Amino acid sequence: MSNLLSISGFSYRHPEASSPSLRDVNIEIEAGEFVLLTGPSGSGKSTLIRAACGLAPAFDGGTAAGELHVGGLSARDFGPGEIARCCGTVLQDPERQVVMTTVRAELALPLESRGLSATAVARTVEETALLLGLGELLDRNVSQLSGGELQRVSLGAALGPRPPLLLLDEPVSQLDPVAADDLGWLLRRLNEELGVAVLVAEQRLERLLPAADRVIALIEGRVACDASPVEFLEWAASTAPALQTPIGEMFHAAGLPAPPPTLKAARAELSRRGLLNGGTKPNQSAEPVGASSKSGSRWRRSKAEPAAIEFKSIWDERSNGRTILEGVSLRVEPGEAIAVMGRNGAGKSTLLAHGAGIRKPTRGSISSLGRVALLLQDPSYYLVRDRVGDLGPAEMLEAAGLANLADRHPRDLSGGERQRLALALVAESPDGQLPAALLLDEPTTGLDPARRKALADRLDQFRDGGCAIIVATHDAEFAAEVCSRVVLLGEGRVLADAPVREVLAGGWHFATETARVLDGLGGALLPDEGAALLRVESNREVRQ
Amino acid sequence: MASGPRPNPLSAARAAVGLGFCAALAGAALALDHPVAILGVIVAIVAVGSLAGRARLLARTALFSLPLAITVGLVNALTSRQGDTVVARLGSLPVIGRLDITAESLSYSGVLILRVEAIVLAAALFSACVDADALLRLLRRRSSRFGLSVGLAARLAPLLARDGKRMAAARRTLAPSVAAPRSAIVEALATGALDRAVDTAAALELRGLGDGPCLAPAEKRRWSRHDRAMALSASVIAILSAVSLAAGWSLFSVGSTIRAADGLAPWIVAALIPLIAVSPMLDRRGVAR
């Protein structure tokens, strides 16, 4: 069999599920191909990756039908351990995949398991570490690594035995923009230089689309599109708008044909049409054409009045000598929404923990107008009962629109429902009073565009009620949509604290895709703003 | 392990030697009967742990294991038939018979409590300071599936500890009216342990562990000064325990009355064990990479 991955008429149903997660899937992946697998939440992407590496149904249970071969091994006859000889797998949550104590041991484990000599193990560990920039981390304890570092370690462990096929499930969902870009380049390099075939399940395609040979879209467990990136973008614009990239959305809204998949080509296309020559840079324009008016706070008051929440020069110094936060000062008014951005390990989550009172600063103080609510990244940590109805009073569930879920087990809810439930638990109170401030840690991880929009709408309702919002996020699009200000943290210090347009329209890593393709033109951050700008430029071009 | 120990000779020694050292301390706690000698073993473990920067972890472990140790002691006091000096008569039960508590059985319960604490602390010292990865490698050479099971168990504990911490943090962010009781967190952790175990087993399978016979290459490195010193220390502790047992230097037995070694012997044993255990820990040359 020449195909590395051959899936034919494959269907899979999770245990006790009422309908199959995968239906009659047919996919062939050849050596050296780079394939993106996309689709809305619950469309079956992760299930397909787990089936391809042998975990479903061997570990997950359930029933499967059809044929699935990896490197010529049938998933019917071989388990994940044997299939792992043909493919390396990186699953979504890096914390659940790291099994050894040190990075060196983690990288060595799959090599030793295959019986390599001590010399070969040592050489390969060293080479893998060099390839992935893990040299400094080799002797570190895995419990001391950030999410991004753990993701790279998992990738290294998967790559070490030099598999011809690499399977990745949403590998950039926990990474900061810089690390996500780095991972995209790395996968491209592995594919182009080492000839490793790559299958990546991802909801946000923009960073990986330039490297892809094909894009496969799954909708309700079926392959809805299997085409080149350009054809996929055309298909998405006409058939599945929710799967468009921000640039595709902008081109579509501006009445332009589907864009080429790379930023460079998209920019060249706009230049060719004469649409990138006018306009103003972000610092020259307060508000771009078509921008929704997003004032800082709808409850703006003078500085003399108390803020909804204020961090006054707070320090977090650990007993091991590390300083996580260095004199961070931040004032958020009632009804104001700000985004805290920065690299993995910059101190964003720690800042929120201080705001919610989970940690106490070693120096400095925090004051607030009232209750401060914190929604942690993984909502399941709040859902510790067997029944949704036991988690809170019925009025609270009613207010959050979740009363119909009262008899379900929290584990059986979708990701979006779990997050809504956790948000209701932390933010709603039986008397209907909103918290003075609501802090959210990476709330968009794993959410598809429809669920992100629903969350943004919910946060707008909190803002309208006078609640201050602080969102720690890597998601520049979400920050641009919800927030009026961005605080950029680096090494525990505030590097920038400025209006959202000033930070996100002029940058490269910390920028929205729209701003990246328009190079900050007119301060446009979101696809509809970019489209409005392009329409103005287009009209100007016609008049000339 | 939440974070690694401070560089120290026990961690720098090879895993098999580290295992032997901790086993020698646990063995001493089993072989010695005199409470003073067992206290000496506890002092030795705490001193070694302190030099490795893990004193706080050992203190927490001692605290958490105290209920278990006291339970063992209580059961002994209630069920032991030895001793003539009755201090309390608690009636009788149909199968067990009379529940008389004697001063002798209470004394031996104290010894048992100390012994349980010493063994738990030796295990904690091992898990805190000895390279679990290297030990797993050793086991995988014997059996791939055994290695998989041990790897699973070793990884599961810190994962559940992390989950518990995060659930507790999440609980602290909730208003009292919706915050679940602590028991709900314990229950959620217990029921979630199976999911975690499946995740971890899946990750180990994906790394190829358990795929056919284990062929991990044997470690070939010369014995370092720390290997030799820790192995010597472990051997001396084992020999001293055996000799003490044979010669009755730490005798403490309960019959109708208590028979205990008299004179300085148990005190000398109690003083020697910490000295022998700590001495290799003082050579810090080459412990940090």
B chain contacts of residue A429, beta-carbon cutoff 8 Å: 175, 177
Q: Are A400 and A423 in contact (CB under 8 A)?
A: yes
Q: Give the tokens for residue B256.
A: 């109708």
User: What ipTM was reported for this prediction?
Assistant: 0.79
Alpha-carbon distance of B25 to B233, in angstroms, equals 10
Q: Identify all chain A residues contacting B201, using CB atoms and an 8 Å cutoff.
A: 59
pLDDT for position A341 = 95
Q: In chain B, what percentage of residues exceed pLDDT 70?
A: 92
* Interval A390-429: pLDDT, tens: 888 888 888 777 888 888 888 777 777 888 889 989 987 7
Which of A138, A111, A40 is closest to A453 using CA atoms? A40
| Residue B174 with chain A: CB contacts under 8 Å | 382, 425-426
The pLDDT value recorded for residue A60 is 85
Average pLDDT over residues B175-190: 84
* Average pLDDT score, chain B: 86
With 0-12 CB in 10 A as exposed, 13-18 as middle and 19+ as buried, what is A240?
A: middle
C-alpha dihedral (A291, A293, A294, A299), degrees to nearest 10: 180
* Confidence bin at B288 (pLDDT 50/70/90): low
Regarding whether B88 and B47 lie in a shared domain, the answer is yes
Within this chain, do residues B111 and B157 fall inside the same structural domain, yes or no?
A: no
CA angle, residues A336, A340, A342, in degrees to nearest 5 = 160
B233 and B201 within one domain: no
pLDDT number for residue A299: 52
CA distance A336 to A298: 7
Instruction: Confirm whether B139 is domain-assigned.
Output: no
Q: Which residues of B touch A426 (CB under 8 A)?
A: 173-174
Strand partners, A65: A11
From chain B, pick out residues whose CB is under 8 angstroms from the CB of A91: 203, 206
Indicate whether B162 and B232 sit together in one domain.
Answer: no
Helix H segments across chain B?
9-12, 15-31, 35-51, 55-79, 103-129, 132-142, 144-172, 182-206, 225-247, 265-278
**Rounded Cα gap, residues B38 and B91, in angstroms:** 33
Residues B63 and B196 in one domain: no
Place of tokens 């220390």: B233
Q: Pick the last residue of a domain from B206, B239, B260.
A: B206
Q: In order of start, what are the domains of chain A with their CATH numbers?
A: 5-245 (3.40.50.300), 246-294+507-544 (no CATH), 309-483 (3.40.50.300)
Q: What is the pLDDT of residue A293?
A: 46
Domain span holding position B151: 144-206
A 125-184 residues with CB < 8 A to B: 139, 141, 143-144, 157-158, 161
- Asked if residue B212 belongs to a domain, the reply is no
Residue B160 lies in a domain: yes
Q: Which residues of chain A have pLDDT under 50?
A: 1, 282-286, 293
Give the pLDDT confidence of A84-109 residue by residue, as tens digits: 989 999 988 888 888 888 899 899 98
pLDDT at B2: 43
State residue A344's pLDDT score. 81
**Residue B60 to residue A93: CA distance in whole angstroms:** 30
Looking at the structure, tell me whether residues B108 and B176 fall in a common domain. no
If asked whether residues B126 and B151 sit together in one domain, one would say no
pLDDT tens for B40-91 read 999 999 999 999 999 988 998 899 899 999 999 999 988 887 888 888 888 8
Instruction: Write down which residue in B175, B206, B237 finishes a domain.
Output: B206
Co-location of B24 and B124 in the same domain: yes
Place of tokens 């101190």: A347
Q: Which one, of A454, A475, A378, A507, lies nearest residue A172 by Cα?
A: A475
Q: Following DSSP, what letter does each residue of A440-483 receive, concatenated?
A: EESTTTT--HHHHHHHHHHHHHHHHTT-EEEEE-S-HHHHHHH-
Number of domains in chain B: 2
Span B6-15, average pLDDT: 89
B189 with B261, same domain: the answer is no
Looking at the domain assignment, is residue B219 inside a domain? no
Determine the distance in angstroms separating the CA of A478 from the nearest CA of chain B, rounded to an integer.
Answer: 24
**Which residues, 6 or more positions from A17, have their beta carbon under 8 angstroms from its beta carbon?**
A62
User: What is the distance between the alpha carbons of residues A464 and B73, in angstroms, rounded to a whole number?
Assistant: 62
Q: Which of B206, B238, B256 is the last residue of a domain?
A: B206
Of the residues B6, B207, B214, B221, the best mutation for testing chain A's interface (the one with the most A CB atoms within 10 Å of its CB) is B207
Give A165 to chain B, closest Cα distance, Å: 13
Chain B residues within 8 A of A118 when measuring between CB atoms: 217-220
Q: Which residues contact A150 (CB under 8 A, 6 or more apart)?
A: A94, A95, A97, A98, A142
Residues in chain B, total = 289
**Residues B196, B167 within the same domain:** yes
Are the beta carbons of A376 and B173 separated by less than 8 Å?
yes
> Is B163 within a domain?
yes
B69 and B46 assigned to the same domain: yes
pLDDT of residue A500: 93
pLDDT of residue B117: 96
Rounded distance between C-alpha atoms, residue B55 and residue B125, angstroms: 9
Letter string b/e over residues B144-167, b meaning 16 or more CB atoms within 10 A of that residue's CB: beebbebbbebbbebbbeebbebb
Decide if B127 is inside a domain.
yes
Interface of B with A in 213-252 (CB under 8 A): 214-220
Task: Say if B217 falls within a structural domain.
Answer: no
Residue of chain B nearest A395, judged by CA positions: B178
pLDDT at residue B13 greater than cutoff 60 = yes
Residue B38 predicted with pLDDT over 80? yes
Residue A476, token pair as written in the block: 């520049």
Q: In sequence order, what are the beta bridge partners of A317?
A: A323
Task: Residue window 401-430, chain A: list those with CB within 8 Å of chain B.
Answer: 425-426, 429-430
B188 and B113 together in one domain: no
Q: Residues B85-117: pLDDT tens digits?
A: 888 888 887 777 777 888 899 999 999 999 999
- Amino acid A10 reads F
Residue B46 domain flag: yes
Distance, CA of A258 to CA of B284 (rounded, Å) = 66
